[in-house]
A and B are shown apart, each in its own frame.
Chain A
Amino acid sequence: MNKEHDITPEDFDALLRWLNPDRAGAGEKYEEIRGALIKLFTCRGCREADRLADETINRVTGKVRTIADTYVGNPALYFYGVAYKVLLEYQRKLTPPAPLPVHVPAPAPAAEEVEYECLDQCMQQLAPAESALIMEYYAPGDDSAAARRKQLAEQLGLPLNALRIRAFRIRAALQECVFRCVAGQTGV
């Protein structure tokens, strides 16, 4: 899998130019593609999604000067084609197959408490309206959740899906905050 790539700064510049002639736009596109590749490899069950995404990008970067002038279409799809080959190579090399997770252990009580305390701290950092929204959106009660969320969306003047996305973004930010906090406290 670890093929040698002699990626030069010129290759990387060529990649960015191919993605978008505007440097800032190219950087944005690069991050989008990398994020999508990581998600793709994760969804395919690869344990080293980040590494495989970078491997894909390196391979494309190594070829970009020969394809940029002739390739027609969205560059992201070219990345997808290369990613598929990387995925097949990865799957072939899995000997024995990656162990199936038979159980996802909850953190040990002490670690769980650290995470809980971190979450409490991170909640304090949210804007009041954000913490109110997320607490209401995720409040327990399976039977009433749909009705409650609909009512909340009406109060906020948002379509239901927009509320769903907003709640997700707050939760994602909280999750990142908690991971950073736990890493800071445990040194992991």
Chain B
Amino acid sequence: MSQAQEGRRETKQYLLGGLPPDALRALEERLMTDPAYLEELSVCEDELIDDYLRDALAPGEREQFERHFMATPARQQKLRFARTFRRYVAAHAPAPLGKKTEHPNSARLNFRAALMGLNPRVGLALAAGLLLCVLGGSWLLFRQGPNTDDIPRAGARIVAVELSPGLTRADGELTRASVPAGTDYVQLRLALPVNEYQSYRGEIIAADGRVLLTRDDLKAEQSTHGPVVVLNRRAGLLPPGDYRVRLSGLRPPAPPESLATYALRLLP
């Protein structure tokens, strides 16, 4: 690891509130006396927020981010801006970088504009290829149909678990649920922190970090306590143990936006 990388790793730990006391003092003295480091810290803050939004933080880091880093209104404001900025950039994504940016005003180039700039024959061929991809994808989707494994059959025995966002094991607010023998499905009802996305992605993650299930295109449903997203899983595939459930908002063409995590312990 280079010195710069090591420095950034330490800064990240500081921002997440995980730096040991001796290193903490040295870092803060530098923060007070080196204006360049103050700026570096701010750069790292933005990068940390971006990593959080693109779900690139390790599970422990996510918890630290939500519990420590986001504790101040200023940081919450920065996160809101980052969300909007991310959405904006996705909607106005420039064409892939060429050899040289000849027109600085081309920041708002979109794919249509890029296609229009191509030789007509090449553009036509690309368009035909795209059409084939779309048709092929649709056919595959139609052929496979929805994932019926997650749709409980009539009369199935279901254990429903209500989960609230952002509860972490470290806070001692783990949701516990008993799944008796003979249960067919576990139904996770994820309380939505916000309900403004076209659809949602739910992921069930085992204690060792393995993603056991990913479901896209989940829709919000109304419950007596407000909007929820429902994630079903065969009980046999969720043995007793600790799990995290990660929820992201989907609003194409923007990348998924991380919304909340939920901590769950299933008991026999």
Q: A interface vs B, CB < 8 Å?
A: 32-33, 35-37, 39-40, 42-43, 45-47, 49, 74, 76-77, 79-80, 98, 100-109, 112, 115-116, 119-120, 123, 128-129, 131-132, 134-136, 138-140, 142, 148, 151-152, 155, 161, 164-165, 168, 171-172, 174-175, 178-179
Contact = CB atoms under 8 A, between A and B. Distances in A.
B42 A47 contact: no
Nearest to B38: A36
Contacts of B10: none
Majority DSSP secondary structure for residues of B touching A: helix
Contact of A49 (B67, B72, B94, B254): B72
Contacts of B89: 135, 138-140
A113 to B, nearest CB: 9
Interface string B10-48: 000011010000000000110111010011011100100
19 contacts: A33-B32, A39-B41, A47-B72, A74-B33, A77-B29, A100-B171, A102-B164, A103-B66, A103-B260, A119-B88, A128-B105, A129-B104, A132-B101, A132-B105, A136-B107, A138-B50, A138-B86, A161-B4, A172-B42
A168 B165 contact: no
Given A102-B165, A103-B66, 16 more contacts: A36-B35, A43-B14, A102-B164, A102-B167, A103-B166, A105-B193, A106-B249, A106-B257, A112-B84, A128-B105, A131-B104, A131-B107, A132-B101, A136-B107, A172-B42, A175-B78
